[in-house]
């Protein structure tokens, strides 16, 4: 008799649990444009709440009217690239807005300053370093090192928020790029470890 009473109690609890679950509103969907209890529509923004905006890029002086989108969109059918995911901490942060324009201008000045060295065939890291310091960068901001038999790599830590210029010079060209540091690095230095 005790078993029958316990079984009836368990079966009696099942409808109660279902009713409570439905009353809680799990899975409730409102019609598009319907207001919530406070009278706000889901497509309207509450007043006084800041909404984060995406960085806005614009054409910089000497650039075509629309900046190119450098973001690589992965195909939805392709499997995730775990190597890229695990090494994303080594991808430099892009600059946006006025910082992007300032970075493009700085990279252009660096390339222009290094061009006479390149044409002369002067690939000594010391020459590159002193030329970059001649642009007004401090001694502690500029590094240059050998990059292959006839090339030089350089890095300038501008030091503001961080803001960096790096590049290479070889017999073919002098190239410089500006970026905003690394996600897990210290200023302009790429992080050493991983996860």
DSSP 33-62: T---TTS--TTSPPTT----------PPTT
Classified as helix, coil or strand, 2 is helix
Predicted structure pTM score:
0.61
SS (H, E, C) 77-133: CCCCCHHHHHCHHHCCCCCCHHHHHHHHHHHHHHHHHHHHHHHHCCCCHHHHHHHHH
pLDDT at residue number 72: 47
Share of the chain above pLDDT 70, in %: 59
Given a contact cutoff of 8 angstroms between Cβ atoms, the answer to whether 120 and 131 are in contact is no
Containing domain of residue 139, as a range? 91-179
- The total number of structural domains in the chain stands at 1
- Edge to edge, the sheet with strand 142-146 lists 142-146, 151-157, 164-170, 174-179
Residue 98 domain flag: yes
Does 75 reside within a domain? Answer: no
**Residue 170 belongs to a domain:** yes
Reported as a single tens digit per residue, the pLDDT across 129-178 is 999 999 999 999 999 999 988 899 999 998 776 689 999 999 999 999 99
Does the structure show a pLDDT above 80 at 105? yes
Tell me whether residue 136 is in a domain: yes
SS3 5: helix
On whether residue 74 sits in a domain, the answer given is no
Residue the block writes with tokens 């090192």: 145
Dist. CA 6–CA 77, nearest whole Å = 53
| Residue 73 phi, psi (nearest 5) | -90, 120
CA angle 143, 91, 117 (to 5 degrees): 30
* pLDDT at res. 59: 84
Residue 151 or 47, more confident: 151
Average pLDDT of the residues of the chain:
75
64 found inside a domain:
no
Lowest mean pLDDT among 52-61, 96-105, 173-182: 52-61
Which has the closest alpha carbon to 135: 162, 118, 158? 158
Span between the terminal Cα atoms of the chain, in Å = 62
183: left (phi over 0), alpha (psi -120 to 50) or beta: alpha
Task: Give residue 175's pLDDT.
Answer: 97
Whether residue 73 is predicted with pLDDT greater than 60 in this model: the reply is no
pLDDT for position 67: 47
- Does residue 19 fall inside a structural domain? no
- Whether 154 maps to a domain, the answer reads yes
| pLDDT single digits (tens) 2-36 | 555 554 555 555 555 554 545 555 455 555 555 55
Q: Cβ–Cβ contacts within 10 Å for residue 114, how many?
A: 25
């Amino acid at each position: 008799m005790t078993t029958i009473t316990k079984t009836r109690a368990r079966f009696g609890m099942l409808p109660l649990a279902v009713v409570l679950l439905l009353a809680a509103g799990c899975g409730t969907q409102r019609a598009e444009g319907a207001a919530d209890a406070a009278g706000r529509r889901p497509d309207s923004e509450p007043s006084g709440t800041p909404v984060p905006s995406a960085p806005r890029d614009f054409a910089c002086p000497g650039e075509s009217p629309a900046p190119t989108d450098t973001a690589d969109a992965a195909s939805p059918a392709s499997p995730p690239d775990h190597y890229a995911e695990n090494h994303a901490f080594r991808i430099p942060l892009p600059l946006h807005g006025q910082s992007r324009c300032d970075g493009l201008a700085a990279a252009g000045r660096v390339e222009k300053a290094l061009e006479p060295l390149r044409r002369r065939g002067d690939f000594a890291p010391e020459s590159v370093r002193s030329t970059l310091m001649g642009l007004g960068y401090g001694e502690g901001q500029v590094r240059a090192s050998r990059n292959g038999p006839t090339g030089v790599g350089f890095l300038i830590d501008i030091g503001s928020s961080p803001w960096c210029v790096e590049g290479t010079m070889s017999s073919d060209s002098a190239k410089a790029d500006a970026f905003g540091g690394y996600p897990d690095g210290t200023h302009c230095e790429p992080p050493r470890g991983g996860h």
